[in-house]
Amino acid sequence: MELSLNSGSNLPEEAAKHSSETIQYIVIRLGEEQYGIDIRSIDTITRMQHITRVPKMPNYLKGVINLRGVVIPVMSMRLRMNLAADEITKATRIIVVRLEQDGNVGFLVDEVREVVTLSMDDIEKISENSKDGKASLINGVGKHNGELISLFDLNAISLES
């Protein structure tokens, strides 16, 4: 697993002072873009494994996997975001996320990069009324070391379908 903890621009003492205002994100890659998932809702990150197809499902729902005896649906984040279909590589991972209403769901992503800590000041909220269907799954953009990270709105992902 290629996870590296990066304390980022927040110095430890600063983080302690504003601990309620910092959130840790796992940064993933889909194609050339970077996305962040709130680390508090992540259950497990697992390597690619055989996915059993379920018929009559939307194309982004790839099927189900067996995670330690529990059946978990897996969706392709690329297809969900209307990107090109997945290419399975050694770096491909399934991120299992706890969704409030729907239980655990796995997200198929190209690569898991790192963990970053963002303070509220680093995050720019995106307004709800964006018309782009893709953008509605994103509720903020984080700035980190000069790079931009789109932050997933997990509730929007779960409500859809």
Partner 1 sequence: MDVSQYLEIFLDETKEHLQNLNTRILELESDPENADTINEIFRAAHSLKGMAGTMGYKRMQNLTHDMENVFSEVRNGSIKVKPDMIDVLFQCLDALEEYTNNIQTSADEGTNDNEPLIKRLNDILGSAGSDGDTGEAEKKEEAPAVKSGTAEAAESNKWDKIALDSSQISVIQEAQNQGKNVYGINVLVHESCILKAARAFLVFKAVEEVSEIIVSDPSAQDVEDERFDRDFTLIVVADVELDKVIKAAENVSEIEKVTGAPLVLSNNKNINAGKESETGEPEVKAEKKAAQTAAPAAPAGKAGAKPAETKKPAASKPVVNRTVRVDIEKLDALMNLVSELIIAKNSLVSASSQGQAGTVNTSFNEQIEYLESVTTNLHESVMKVRMVPIESVVNKFPRMIRDLSKKLDKKMELYMSGEETELDRTVVDEIGDPLMHLLRNSADHGLESAEVRAQRGKPEVGSIFLDAYQDGNNVVIEVRDDGNGIDVEAVRNKAIERGTVTPEQAANMSDKDIIDLLFLPSFSTAKEVTDVSGRGVGLDVVKSKIESLSGEVEVKSKLGEGSVWTIRLPLTLAIIQALMVVVGDEKYAISLGSIQTLEDIPPSDIKLVQNKEVINLRGTVIPLIRLNEVLDVESRRDGDENLIVVIVKKGDRMAGLVIDELIGQQEIVIKSLGRYIKQCKFISGATILGDGEIALILDANALI
- Residue number, 62 or 93, with CB nearest to partner 1: 62
Residue 108 CB, nearest approach to partner 1 (Å): 14
Residue 66 CB, nearest approach to partner 1 (Å): 5
State how far the alpha carbon of 81 is from the alpha carbons of 2, 19, 39, 42, 107, in Å.
24, 32, 20, 19, 12
Q: Which residues bind partner 1 (CB under 8 A)?
A: 50, 52-57, 61, 64-66, 69-73, 99, 101-105, 158, 161
CB-CB contact of 153 with 137 (8 Å)? yes
Residue 161 CB, nearest approach to partner 1 (Å): 7
**Which two structure tokens, joined as six digits, stand for 97?**
């996320």
- Residue number, 12 or 55, with CB nearest to partner 1: 55
DSSP for 93-149, written as a single string: EEEEEEETTTEEEEEEESEEEEEEEEEGGGEEEPPTT---TTGGGEEEEEEETTEEE
- Residue number, 72 or 81, with CB nearest to partner 1: 72
- Residue number, 12 or 69, with CB nearest to partner 1: 69
Residue 103 CB, nearest approach to partner 1 (Å): 5
Q: What span, in angstroms and rounded, lies between the C-alpha atoms of 2 and 112?
A: 7
Q: What span, in angstroms and rounded, lies between the C-alpha atoms of 98 and 77?
A: 15
Residue 25 CB, nearest approach to partner 1 (Å): 23
Q: What span, in angstroms and rounded, lies between the C-alpha atoms of 52 and 35?
A: 26
- Residue number, 51 or 149, with CB nearest to partner 1: 51
